[in-house]
């Protein structure tokens, strides 16, 4: 697990990436192999359906960047896609929604990065591979002092946390936030981000070790949902007030409990449909609380909206990387062990981010 001391306290961010040692034109590229490795599911199923396939190395189009991948983040969405056996329409079947590495080639119109720049990116699939295409608007420079592994743990978690806390739920300083799954990669970053924005933050997790981890990330208290009533514990901790915002990753599992935990005019946002995709709760309780029940998926958002989120993150979050926002990496698997990484995630064993090491 990566500790905060593993990242230098001084983080440099200038709004554009630091150039590589060799200056090249925006349409140039490093010597690229014709074929690359990529992890794909052979069909719908468990982790054992994952295999490494050989594919043609992609070429970046206008406004795109080709990244030579160092690390790829492993996310629940990847497991869900594997279980379905097929990607969304128009996306590659190679798994992976975030990566870090070096810029290998730039398509026409890309002026912000050059060959050899250290970057991380939110991608529309394809990150479990030697090379991945990313929209240049969704590429971020790796802050000075941050390892490539730590950088790969950031994009999906930071985009998701910012989108839900700031844009959907309009978090204000001084509000109370409850984050379910506080020991997950997204949960840990959401705790840190909410704290950075001035919230009181509470969390839930499934073991005492995970609760301790969530508190290390900045949660005021973390409730073990296996042994505690998190509604009663939160009410006690807040003097009967409850939570202004609840971030939920378990689908409809805690639908009614979440409403009881909400403060009046509270906002409940869902990051995943989880294993209980039906939200069922008394309508009278929603009305009594004047609750807003919502949720969102990051991947299907329009390009312009994702680009706007990226700009907000660059302005408000990226300068705080290494200070208020420090990614926690739990375990790193080689690309060839992607199936083990998925099994590890689905076992709920991780505290922080799971990564694949590519190169």
Phi, psi of 69 (to 5 degrees): -75, 130
The count of residues in the chain is: 359
Nearest CA-CA partner of 320 in 149, 186, 198, 137: 198
pTM confidence score = 0.91
Cα 134 to chain centroid, rounded: 16
pLDDT score recorded for residue 349: 87
CA separation for the pair 217, 213 (Å, rounded): 6
**Contact present, 330 and 188 (Cβ < 8 Å):** no
Which CATH number applies to 4-154+321-357: 3.90.550.10, 3.90.180.10, 3.20.20.70, 3.40.190.10? 3.90.180.10
CA separation for the pair 333, 355 (Å, rounded): 6
The band of 30, judged by pLDDT with boundaries at 50, 70 and 90, is confident
**Contact present, 97 and 78 (Cβ < 8 Å):** yes
Residue 12 has pLDDT above 60, yes or no: no
Residue 5 has pLDDT above 70, yes or no: no
**Contact present, 19 and 114 (Cβ < 8 Å):** yes
Nearest CA-CA partner of 20 in 68, 71, 64: 68
> Distances from the Cα of 299 to the Cαs of 24, 141, 272, in angstroms?
32, 21, 12
Nearest CA-CA partner of 80 in 95, 66, 90: 95
- Segments making up each domain of the chain, as ranges: 4-154+321-357, 157-295
Q: Running DSSP on this structure, what letter comes out for residue 87?
A: P
Nearest CA-CA partner of 54 in 71, 33, 75, 30: 33
Proportion of the chain above pLDDT 90, given as a percent: 89
CA separation for the pair 192, 223 (Å, rounded): 17
Residue 282 has pLDDT above 90, yes or no: yes
Q: Render pLDDT for 184-241 as a digit per residue (tens, 0 to 9).
A: 999 999 999 999 999 999 999 999 999 999 999 999 999 999 999 999 999 999 999 9
pLDDT score recorded for residue 28: 58
Q: Render pLDDT for 61-100 as a digit per residue (tens, 0 to 9).
A: 999 999 999 999 999 999 999 999 999 999 999 999 999 9
> Distances from the Cα of 188 to the Cαs of 160, 183, 267, 351, 352, in angstroms?
12, 6, 20, 9, 7
> Distances from the Cα of 352 to the Cαs of 160, 207, 348, 355, 356, in angstroms?
15, 14, 11, 10, 14
CA dihedral of residues 137, 65, 352, 74 (deg, nearest 10): 120
pLDDT score recorded for residue 274: 82
Q: What angle do CA 140, 338, 269 make, to 5 degrees?
A: 55
Strand 200-205, strand 262-270: pairing: unpaired
Structure tokens at 51: 């295999």
Phi, psi of 249 (to 5 degrees): -115, 5
The band of 24, judged by pLDDT with boundaries at 50, 70 and 90, is very low
Proportion of the chain above pLDDT 70, given as a percent: 92
Nearest CA-CA partner of 335 in 349, 320, 352, 355: 355
Averaged confidence pLDDT in the chain: 92
Residue 18 has pLDDT above 50, yes or no: no
pLDDT score recorded for residue 356: 98
pLDDT score recorded for residue 275: 80
157-295 CATH: 3.40.50.720
Buried b (16+ CB within 10 A) or exposed e, 274-284: beeeebebeee
Mean pLDDT across 112-134: 97
């Amino acid at each position: 697990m990566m500790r905060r001391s593993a990242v230098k306290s001084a983080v440099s961010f200038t709004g554009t990436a630091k150039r590589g040692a060799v200056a090249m034109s925006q349409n140039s590229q490093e010597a690229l192999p014709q074929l690359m490795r990529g992890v794909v599911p052979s069909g719908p199923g468990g982790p054992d359906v994952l295999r490494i396939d050989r594919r043609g190395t992609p070429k970046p189009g206008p406004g795109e960047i080709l990244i030579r991948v160092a690390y790829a983040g492993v996310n629940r969405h990847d497991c869900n896609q594997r279980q379905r056996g097929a990607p969304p329409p128009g996306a590659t079947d190679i798994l992976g929604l975030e990566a870090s590495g070096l810029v290998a080639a730039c398509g026409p119109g890309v002026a912000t990065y050059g060959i050899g720049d250290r970057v991380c990116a939110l991608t529309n699939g394809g990150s479990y591979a030697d090379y991945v295409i990313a929209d240049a608007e969704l590429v971020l420079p790796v802050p000075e002092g941050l390892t490539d592994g730590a950088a790969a743990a950031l994009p999906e978690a930071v985009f998701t946390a910012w989108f839900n806390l700031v844009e959907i739920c309009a978090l204000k300083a001084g509000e109370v936030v409850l984050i379910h799954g506080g020991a997950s990669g997204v949960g840990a970053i959401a705790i840190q981000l909410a704290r950075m924005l001035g919230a009181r933050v509470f969390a839930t997790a499934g073991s005492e070790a995970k609760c301790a981890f969530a508190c290390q990330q900045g949660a005021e208290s973390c409730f073990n949902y296996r042994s505690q009533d998190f509604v009663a514990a939160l009410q006690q901790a807040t003097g009967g007030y409850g939570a202004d915002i609840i971030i939920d990753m378990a689908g409809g599992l805690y639908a009614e409990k979440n409403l009881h935990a909400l403060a009046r005019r509270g906002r409940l946002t869902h990051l995943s449909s989880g294993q209980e995709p039906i939200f069922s709760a008394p309508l009278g309780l929603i009305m009594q609380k004047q609750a807003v029940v919502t949720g969102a998926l990051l991947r299907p958002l329009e390009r312009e909206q994702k680009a706007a989120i990226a700009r907000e993150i660059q302005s408000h979050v990226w300068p705080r990387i290494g200070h208020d926002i420090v990614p926690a990496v739990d375990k790193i698997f080689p690309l060839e062990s992607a199936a083990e990484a998925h099994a590890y995630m689905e076992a709920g064993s991780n505290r922080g981010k799971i990564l694949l090491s590519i190169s």
